[in-house]
Homo-oligomer: A and B are copies of this chain.
Amino acid sequence: MIIDVKKNILIVGLGLIGGSYAEALKRYGFRVTAITRSRKSIDYALKKGLIDEGAAEVDPRLVSEADIVVFALYPHVFVEWIENNQRLFKPGALITDVTGVKGSVVYKVQDILRPDCEFIAAHPMAGREVYGVENATSRIFHGANYIVTPTAKNTPEAIETCRELGLLLGFANICELSPEEHDEMIGFVSQLTHCIAVSLMTCNDAENIEQFTGDSFRDLTRIAKINDLMWSELFMSNKKALLDQMNLFLKQFCKLRDMIESGDVDGMREMMRYSSERREKFDIRR
């Protein structure tokens, strides 16, 4: 193990993800501290033993004691935090994050960061439809993917430490993508799916549909219950890649619609067979 369990880990932003990090890391014996805006969240985390110490404002001592700092904030809040408070970091501190977009964040933070600290970005692909540290549990990481997104500025040691952090958190699969590859992938598998779910849930005002639905509609709209503040920011921070993926989907959906309209059963069946084949491969590799 590269990461020494005697290290201090500070989590900035103690919500669902930050709290789940704390829970997982405390169990290994790390000293885990937290800074978050809500005093209530700190009190809850202390009571539940998720953290050793916490503050509801930027506490210089907590920041300067941390060997590893994990940022679990909205993208723009994260960048502002670095600008305003990075002078407090311990020399040599390793900074990482959980941000769901990378291209618009990683280079910016690496550009402004003090040269004696290093920022290695990561995206834990886990979540729930509920929010806040009260719902935190590291079970959400089990079976999930953890994507490290290094740039040319990162050292092999930082990349390795970040990968190891993913393992300690309990992720099933650790992989590496460039920030650009990450954003394209996330635009497709995560942001596009949320756009589809929201559009499906709001496109027809029919009342009482819950009386008539099977599992399909429930599955496709599970993520339609969505944090509007966070997701609108994520969409705007990955606008180009998301629009590309939305347009790919639109093209295919319209192709299917046109085949239904013109009665092109062979074309429809071919698309369905390709769909089944792709989805099947998907299950096997899980």
Binding site for B on A (CB under 8 A): 125-127, 144-145, 147, 173, 175, 177, 185-186, 188-190, 192-204, 206, 209-229, 231-233, 235-236, 239, 242-243, 245-257, 260-261, 263, 265, 268-276, 278-283, 285-286
Contact A265 B232 (CB under 8 A): yes
Residues of B within 8 A of A274 (CB): 202
Bound together, the chains give a CA A185 to CA B233 distance in angstroms of 34
Bound together, the chains give a CA A82 to CA B278 distance in angstroms of 38
How distant is A193 from chain B, measured CB to nearest CB, in Å?
Answer: 4
7 closest A-B pairs by CB: A228-B272, A203-B252, A228-B269, A199-B253, A125-B214, A189-B217, A193-B216
Contact A199 B249 (CB under 8 A): yes
Contact A243 B261 (CB under 8 A): yes
Residues of B within 8 A of A189 (CB): 209, 212-214, 216-217
Residues of B within 8 A of A217 (CB): 189-190, 193
How distant is A103 from chain B, measured CB to nearest CB, in Å?
Answer: 16
Contact A220 B196 (CB under 8 A): yes
Residues of B within 8 A of A218 (CB): 282
